[in-house]
Amino acid sequence: MRYGFLSTSANYTAVLQDLEDIWSTALEKHVGIPRSNLSNYRAILVISDVYKRNEIRYLVHLLLNRLKFGRVFVHQASVCATYGIGLPTACVINIGEQKTSVSCVEDGVAHTETRIILPVGRSDVLRVFHSLVLPNGFCNNEGCTVDLKYEHLSDVEDLRTLMENSVQCTISLLCQQNEKNKLDEEIQPKANESLLNNDFYNITLQWTHKQNQYDISSLHPSTVLLSHILPFACISSCVPSKEVCCTYQVPSLQSSEPDDPFDDMYISLTARERRKRGLPNEHQSTILPNNEQLETEIDVTEQVAPVSNPLPQKPNSFESLPEAVWWSINQCANLVGSQVGPEVTVQASGLAPGKPSQSSNSVSDELRRRLLGCIILTGGGVAGVNNQIMERWLTEQLIAIAREKQAATTVSSHIPTVEIIHHSEPGDLSWSGARLLLTSDLINDLWITPAEWNKFGSRALREKAPFPW
C-alpha cells in the first residue's frame, strides 16, 4: 500500500494474492472462521474516501470469487465514521499511517468535490521526531556515530518505542504541572492559549536507551509535542517535493471500467452523437447535472453553456492540514449554495439566474457553520496523546483562518464555533459505524452476490453502491 492505494510499483496480481493470504489467515487464526465456511458469511468492505475504481473492482472480485463470501456491501470510511458518532453531517479527518483524508459528509453522502488525500500521516510524525531528537545519529558500542535506518524493522521499533516513552513522560509532566497550577493558583491557563506558550517547556526529559547505547540527556517536552504537529503544519517541508501533491476523486467520465459498457461515458457519448444528428435524446433524463461540464473535456469542439456559479479550481497542494480542511468545508458550502441558489433566486427573489442571492448565501453560511461545529477526528494516526494535541491545534488554526477570512470581507458576522469530536478508539470508528449498518434495513437491497457480480461486474457497484460511483 502507498498513500492509501495499491502500490503502482508492484504487480496487482501479487498484491491481491498477498491480501488474500493475509485475510484468510486472519479469519482462520484470529476470528476462528474456516475458509471453507466463508460462503455462509457476509462482508462489508470499507473503502477510502478517494478511491480508484479498478482497485475497488479487484477487491470485490477477491472477496466474492476468491474468498467466496456470500455477499459484499461497499461503503466509504467517512460516512461510516459519521454513523459511528451518530451525526448525519460532519467534516471527517482520517489520519492514517501514510495519508490523511478530508471529506465533508452531508446527510449521509460524501460530496465528491470535497474529498482530499494529503500525503502525510503517522509515519511522518516518526520521521520528524527522529530528525529532532537524533539529528546526528548516536554512538554505538565502538564509539562510531551511526544513524537509524528505516529499512531495518528493529531500528523502526526502537525509534517508535523511544517516541512512545517520551510521550508518556510528557503526559506525566503535563499532569504534574496542571496539579501544581491548581494548588498554587498562580498560573491559570487561558482557553485560547497555545500549547507552545506554557512554562512546563522549561523542564527537560531524561532518557537513556541502553540497547543501542545512545543517550538523550536533554529532551524538551516541546520537542515531543511539536513532532506531532509539524508534519501537518508544514507538509511541503516534511514530504518529498515529488510526493507533496494532494489527490482528488477522479470523475466517472475519466475513469470508466471495461466491464461496465453502459456507464456515464456511454451515456455521454451517445447523447452527444444524438444531438449532432438532431435526434431526440433518450438518455437525457439519466444524465447527471455535472456531466455537461465534463463533456467539454472530451470534445472541445462542442460548445456547452458555462456554469452559472462555477466552483474554484482545485489547488495542486496544501501547505497545512487546517488549510485543506477549510478548503473542503468551503467547497462543500459553495457546492450546496450553487445548487440551491438559482432556484431561490429566480422563483423567489426575481434576480438573474447567474447572480447569487441572499438565500443561497445563507444556505452556504449555515452549512459552513454546521461543518465547522462538527469535525470528526478519526484514524489510527490520532491514537493516544496525538488525539488531544491535534484537536487543540486544529481548533486554534481553524478559528484563526475564520478570523482571517472574516477580516478580508466587508460583511460583519460572528466567528463560527469550531468543535472537534473524537472517539475513544479513533482507529475503530469507521468499523463501528459499518457494524451499525448491519442493524439497518436500508442495506437489504444493497448487498452484491457472486451471481450478480459475475453477471454485471462494475455495473453492480454503480447501481447498488450507496455513494456516487
For residue 163, tell me if it sits in a domain.
yes
> Do 129 and 202 belong to one domain?
yes
Report for 146-155, 234-243, 430-439: range of highest mean pLDDT: 430-439
313 vs 331: CA distance, rounded Å: 10
Q: Which of 298, 316, 338 is the last residue in one of the domains?
A: 298
**Cell of residue 165, nine digits:** 516513552
> Do 220 and 181 belong to one domain?
yes
For residue 159, tell me if it sits in a domain.
yes
Q: Whole-model pTM above 0.85?
A: no
231 vs 228: CA distance, rounded Å: 7
Helix orientation angle between 321-344 and 385-408, rounded to the nearest 10 degrees? 50
C-beta of residue 116 within 8 angstroms of C-beta of residue 102 = yes
Q: Which of 149, 128, 154 minimizes the C-alpha distance to 137? A: 149
> Do 197 and 293 belong to one domain?
no
User: pLDDT tens digits, residue range 353-381?
Assistant: 445 555 557 888 888 899 999 999 998 88
**Residue type present at position 340:** V
**Average pLDDT, stretch 274-279?**
64
For residue 279, tell me if it sits in a domain.
yes
**Average pLDDT, stretch 431-447?**
85
For position 287, what pLDDT does the model report? 40
Of 257 and 438, the structure prediction assigns the larger pLDDT to: 438
> Do 151 and 211 belong to one domain?
yes
> Do 143 and 221 belong to one domain?
yes
For residue 336, tell me if it sits in a domain.
no
For position 2, what pLDDT does the model report? 76
136-142: long-range contacts (C-beta < 8 A, 24 or more apart)?
138/212, 138/213, 138/214, 138/215, 139/213, 139/214, 140/212, 140/213, 141/213
> Do 283 and 188 belong to one domain?
no
The number of domains in the chain is 2
> Do 126 and 233 belong to one domain?
yes
3-state DSSP: the chain helix, strand, coil percent, rounded to 5?
55, 10, 35
Domain range holding 275?
266-298
For residue 356, tell me if it sits in a domain.
no
> Do 232 and 271 belong to one domain?
no
For residue 135, tell me if it sits in a domain.
yes
For residue 257, tell me if it sits in a domain.
no
Q: Hey, is 75 helix, strand or coil?
A: strand
Is it the case that residue 417 has pLDDT exceeding 50?
yes
**Cell of residue 352, nine digits:** 438573474
User: pLDDT tens digits, residue range 203-232?
Assistant: 555 555 555 555 555 677 788 888 889 999
> Do 223 and 131 belong to one domain?
yes
Of 126 and 175, the structure prediction assigns the larger pLDDT to: 126
For residue 86, tell me if it sits in a domain.
no
User: pLDDT tens digits, residue range 295-346?
Assistant: 444 443 333 334 444 556 788 888 899 999 999 999 998 888 777 654 444 4
User: pLDDT tens digits, residue range 72-90?
Assistant: 999 999 999 999 888 889 9
> Do 231 and 148 belong to one domain?
yes
